[in-house]
Amino acid sequence: MPAQLVSIEVAPDLVDQVHRVLLGAISSGALAPGERITQEDIAQRLSVSRQPVLQALRLLKKDGFVRDAPGRGVLVAPLEAEAMRKVYQVRGALDVLAARLAAEQRFRIDARLIERGRRAARGRNVEAMIDADVAFHQAIYEASGNPLIGQSAALHWRHLRRAMGAVLQAEPQRESLWDEHEAIAEAIAAGHVERAARLSEEHVSQASEALSERLSQQLASAASAASAASAASRSTPQTTPRKKGDKA
């Protein structure tokens, strides 16, 4: 065996598993923005050593999902509205192109994908909703016949999964998204190229607007909470310790 090869201390698939679990928890909101994550806590909860957790956290930090925290651990990073707007711009262009190409071939999207999505929408598992949403759009990318579309979208899916999670946590969006998906699938199957493209563009635009509104609400809630905490702090009476010899 070549002398330069060294033993692998952590199985790559274990790091990937921890990374996927943490990314899923961040995307679904189970780990909320601002929440502190420590190696020890995650290792204990996942029944793994700290080494794969450390490597998974490094990957999340590199991609902007977590950031350094004062003291120990890291904090879940907030969704940045401007960054998400740019990601949705790219996704919109890819979705429209994929829908056009798929419609030219009159491709029939598997109806089970839509059924799966509607079942997930009626449940409470946000991660299952995200998985169903991703599966539907990936089916259109594959139907386009251009593998570069799916490959380009894959570069942004981790951030889009988190954006989807933020939107899907708002209950009114859940069923309507699948009405939109079904309309897109019908237009593609019928070969209505322009309609499929228009519906896809509207779908992405509405998702982007819903996310923007959700982020605005979160900022407003955070500002309100900070203001209330500040007001409570100012209204707390300050007591002056009595000097020796003062009468009670």
- The structural domain count of the chain equals 2
* Token couple for 227: 């203001």
End-to-end distance of the chain based on CA atoms, in angstroms?
A: 85
Read off the pLDDT of residues 135-148 as tens digits, 9 standing for 90 and up: 999 999 999 999 99
Give the pLDDT confidence score for residue 36 in this predicted structure: 94
One domain for residues 105 and 209: yes
Residue 243 lies in a domain: no
CA distance 211 to 145: 30
Q: What are phi and psi of 30, to 5 degrees?
A: -60, -35
One domain for residues 45 and 119: no
Read off the pLDDT of residues 166-213 as tens digits, 9 standing for 90 and up: 888 776 678 889 999 999 999 999 999 999 999 999 999 998 888 888
Find the range with the poorest average confidence among 47-51, 148-152, 159-163, 178-182.
159-163
- The residue segments making up the domain with residue 128 are 81-218
Closest listed residue to residue 140, CA positions, set 87, 89, 182: 182
One domain for residues 181 and 123: yes
Contact 114, 136 (CB under 8 A): yes
Q: Could you tell me if residue 34 is left (phi over 0), alpha (psi between -120 and 50 degrees) or otherwise beta?
A: left
Contact 42, 53 (CB under 8 A): yes
